[in-house]
Chains A and B, each alone.
Chain A
Amino acid sequence: MNFPMEKPLFQFFYWLVNTPGIGSVVIGLLVGAAVTIFFLTLRWIVSAKNESEEALPFPPQH
């Protein structure tokens, strides 16, 4: 059986893995997504408000 290169999906995969520069675009997307998620997580943590603003030295034990 021949490799199904006539199918658009496989032509897309071929383009994806063989085109110079696409590798760094994927890495850029990964890094960009990771940095954004980390930044948003930090903002989410430090923006937390509480009715009691008592500063705890360690997390409350459940």
Chain B
Amino acid sequence: MQPILTAQDRENLVSPLFKFDRQFWMTIAALLVVTLPGLVLYVRQLFLGLGVTDLNRPVFWGAYLVNFIFLIGISMAGTVISAVLHLLHVEWRRPITRIAESLTVFGLMTAGLQIIMDMGRPDRLINTLLYGRLQAPLMWDIASLTLYLLTASFALYLQLLPDIAFMRDSTPANAPTWRKKLYSTLSLGWRGNKEQWARLEKAITAVSVILIPIGVSLHTVTSWLFSTTVQPGWKSTILGPYFVVGAIYSGMGLLFIAVAFATQYNHHLKGYITDTFYKNLGWIFIVMSFVWFYFTLNETLVVTTEQETLEFPVMAAKLFGEFAPAFWGMNLLMVATTWILIALKLSAKPRKNPLFKTATGVVMTVLAVVTFLALALNFPALSEPFVELGLLIAFIVFFILALLGLTGWFQAHLIPSTVIASAFVLFGMWLERWNILMPTLTHARIIPYTTYFPTVTEIALTISTFGILTLIFVVFYKFFPSVSIWEVEAGRAVEMKNGG
């Protein structure tokens, strides 16, 4: 069997891995600048204790745990894309499989960091193992997370194995010796004979089947940390599937952003990751947004209408209390996302004055943001009932006009629009996790009211976390191809076989 990849393909996919150019070092420097302040403040937290955060009874979980759930959620992308689409033999998945699987591993690694950050005494982490009891949902979460991280790492490694061997055989002569040794060791002597390929394919299929229930179990068990308590707002049977849906939704958002980032970083990848990926996965993204709205409506409607003594104050805090900006902000971001995604699927009509309409859309967006902030910040001068109503009506009008004005721009820019929608989903889903945790913790049973707002330490560590996630992503893809070389070849072989 002859290789299908051309010399140009090899140049596009392999050469950038050996070029440590200015762009690479600038990216690393920028990420270090983002990450370092948080690390310094973490050392300070280690010395001074959790008093430097706003964590206290009953708010014993804050921004760190919000980040933990969010990062666990985004790790679902790999499972869905890689495992499900692999089992369904979806061909367009091939170029993005690697990125999807690596996001799972990196997401879980950074999620684990949040637990350590959340502990005032991380040296006591060992106590959870020494004295951990099986009845504790925290132990189920540790079990599930460890198993998911191991299995996802194994799936990534299996998928990488032929490409590591390819790198071993294609390393330029002037590459450092340690790098040659690295590929040689990690390739495990892979030769790529027919039987090896047959066994590798069987193993990848088996791991894909195993990954799906483990992934679902992790997101469900994480929700059980809350729903197995008697706290108002948490003791809900819907929380498990709600977490799974949110995880898939946010995971897809991160995948779109990561793929766009990778193709922007290495322009040659655009020849492999085409618009087909954005268009096809966009459909699943739309479906997930509706499923997410269904769950959110379910949870909100039932608690609001039953008006149970302890549950309702938590919901009221979200609907029109101190958490209203986060709750409505989340919903508005999701509405905007759904509109953008649907607009991309509608056939674009030739428009008169497109520039004028886009400019109007931008102005309306600015006005919508300003009126939303005016409502959210609750200035005394604007809190008169009629002024507030007027602002609300103005906001709704601006919001609708902003979406309508920008529709044409969205339709003409598939990838930037998908990235914007994905960023909205990521921010919206972070707010969703915030809205699940904080209203309950500040309106807990027995202690009915308290406040919480992340301190500089917590905010800096949150920023650091995302810096670390991006840093791992950038460094990893300086050593391994971000597009699976053998998957691309196999995809082309399938196309040729089908007469494409």
Interface residues of A (CB under 8 A from B): 16-24, 26-27, 30-31, 34-35, 38, 41-42, 44-46, 48-50, 52-61
Contact = CB atoms under 8 A, between A and B. Distances in A.
Interface string B195-208: 11111110100000
Contacts of B146: 27, 30-31
B50 to A, nearest CB: 24
A42 B188 contact: yes
A35 B150 contact: yes
Contact of A55 (B132, B133, B191, B490): B191
B195 A48 contact: yes
Contacts of B191: 53, 55
8 contacts: A16-B134, A23-B136, A24-B128, A27-B129, A34-B150, A57-B3, A57-B489, A58-B493
Contacts of A18: 133-135
B132 A24 contact: yes
B189 interface: yes
B497 A48 contact: no
Given A17-B133, A18-B133, A26-B143, A38 B154 contact: yes
B196 A48 contact: yes
Given A17-B134, A38-B150, A42-B188, A60 B196 contact: no
B494 interface: yes
B85 to A, nearest CB: 17
Given A20-B131, A57-B3, A46 B142 contact: no
Contacts of B134: 16-18, 22-23, 26
B469 to A, nearest CB: 24
Contact of A45 (B147, B199, B493): B199
B490 A45 contact: no
Nearest to B161: A45
B498 to A, nearest CB: 10
Contacts of A60: 1, 194, 197
Contacts of B189: 46
Contacts of A57: 1, 3-5, 166, 192, 486, 489
Contacts of A42: 157-158, 188
B131 A21 contact: yes
A35 B196 CA distance: 21
B151 interface: yes
Given A17-B135, A56-B1, A61 B494 contact: yes
Contacts of A35: 150
A21 B286 CA distance: 45
A23 B199 contact: no
B133 A19 contact: yes
B190 A59 contact: no
Contacts of B143: 23, 26-27, 30
B193 interface: yes
Interface in B1-49: 1, 3-5
Contact of A46 (B5, B132, B196): B196
A43 to B, nearest CB: 9
B197 A56 contact: yes
Contacts of B342: none
Interface string B360-371: 000000000000
B132 A20 contact: yes
Contact of B1 (A17, A26, A30, A54): A54
Contact of A21 (B130, B154, B193, B196): B130
A22 B150 contact: no
B150 A24 contact: no
B472 interface: no
Interface centre among A44, A48, A49 (most CB of B within 10 A): A48
Interface centre among A16, A27, A53 (most CB of B within 10 A): A27
Given A27-B143, A48-B195, A20 B188 contact: no
B489 A24 contact: no
A22 B199 CA distance: 36
B139 A23 contact: yes
Interface centre among A24, A52, A59 (most CB of B within 10 A): A59
